Structure formats: C-alpha cells, structure tokens
C-alpha cells in the first residue's frame, strides 16, 4: 500500500485550494493508498531562523509540529502540496513549512549524508490564483516547489493550476473536478504534466 501525504497550505478550509486537493484525493481513494491529509493552519510550525543548527547535526533545533511532518516526508510515497498564490508565489503558511525543509538540504549538501535509499516517490503541486488568467501567474511559485521536492527527494511530477478563482470559484467548474479525479486515478502512470485553467 502506498502512503500519500497531502498538505493543504491554505488557511481557508473547504474553499478553492482545499477543493483542488480533495478532488485529486477522491481519485486516489481506494485500497492501494493510505492517505493522510494535513491542514497546515492546524499545525504549530515556527519559522526558520537560519541558525544553521541543521547544518551541523541531523535535526532542526525547533521542536514543534514540523517534527510530525518530517516523519511524514520520510515515510510517504506520494506527496501532494496544495497552496494559494499570494503575491505571485506560495502563501506564507506554505512557504514557512517549505523553509523548515532546510533540514533536508543541509543533510544532503552540508553534511553529505544520503537522505533516502530511493528517490522513486512523487511530488505534485496544486495551486489557485484569484487573478484573471495569465500564463506567468504561477511562475514565482514553481522554483520554490521545485527546491522543496528536491530537498525531500521527491520527483516533481506535475502542476495543476487554476486562475481567476476570485471571479469563478472551483465549485462552478466541474471540468476541474473531472480532470483532478482522473489524475488521481492514474497518478503512478501519468507522464509529467503542467495544466493551467
């Protein structure tokens, strides 16, 4: 059974970002997957202070709910991150969690230690932007997520982005639900993807 860690980075439960994640998880919901969904807003995650403690030892100096997320990253086969776009990148709640993954970067590059024996797990990024569609709308978030998945040794499999959610909510766009469900059903076979609606 594959373990799925689904991270919801919006503070607004049940809204557009959360719906994207739920639609994808609906496609995964069968006996092949053990799914754990975490709402980051419910977790106490201190910000990274840049103290470089993790550059000298194999741990983060902060003792908070990120410890639980580290365990999830260590044991999951598929990691799905959903976040809203604020000021052309991931929102602060999500970025704070990503910053705390400095621990993995330090482990690999400062301490020269192997983080995992395998790199066969998948990373998928879902995002919503309230502004009207422009092709560049999500460009600021992609490098952040790329480095996040590299740090935790996940193959960045794809992006699913939805624009114009201030005017047209996810609820009113049934084609999005269908597409995400199909991605979930075929998540292990699907080729790399970049979809923006």
Residue 114 half-sphere exposure toward CB, CA atoms < 13 A: 4
- C-alpha distance across the termini of the chain, in Å: 32
What is the residue range of 60's domain? Answer: 2-196
Q: Is the dihedral of CA 144, 148, 153, 155 positive or negative?
A: negative
Domain of 182, CATH number, reads 3.40.50.360
Q: Identify the CA nearest to 184 among candidates 106, 98, 126.
A: 126
pLDDT digits (tens, 9 = 90+) for 55-104: 888 888 999 999 999 999 989 999 999 999 999 899 999 999 999 999 99
pLDDT digits (tens, 9 = 90+) for 134-190: 888 899 999 999 999 998 989 999 999 999 998 888 889 999 999 999 999 998 888
Q: Name the pTM for this structure.
A: 0.92
Structural domain count of the chain:
1
CA dist., res. 146 & res. 174, Å (int):
29
What residue has token string 């719906």? 19
């Amino acid at each position: 059974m594959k373990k799925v860690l689904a991270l919801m980075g919006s503070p607004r439960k049940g809204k557009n970002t959360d719906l994207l994640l739920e639609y994808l998880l609906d496609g995964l919901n069968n006996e092949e997957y053990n799914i754990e969904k975490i709402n980051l807003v419910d977790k106490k995650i201190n910000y990274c202070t840049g103290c470089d403690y993790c550059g000298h030892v194999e741990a983060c100096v902060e003792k908070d709910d990120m410890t639980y997320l580290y365990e999830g990253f260590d044991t999951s086969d598929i990691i799905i991150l959903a976040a809203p776009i604020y000021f052309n990148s991931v929102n602060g709640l999500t970025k704070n969690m990503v910053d705390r993954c400095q621990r993995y970067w330090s482990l690999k590059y400062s301490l020269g230690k192997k983080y995992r024996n395998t790199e066969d797990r998948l990373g998928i990024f879902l995002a919503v932007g309230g502004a009207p569609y422009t092709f560049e709308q999500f460009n600021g978030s992609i490098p952040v997520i790329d480095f996040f998945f590299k740090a935790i040794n996940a193959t960045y499999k794809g992006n699913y982005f939805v624009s114009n959610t201030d005017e047209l909510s996810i609820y009113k766009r049934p084609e999005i639900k269908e597409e995400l469900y199909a991605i979930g059903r075929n998540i292990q076979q699907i080729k790399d993807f970049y979809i923006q609606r």
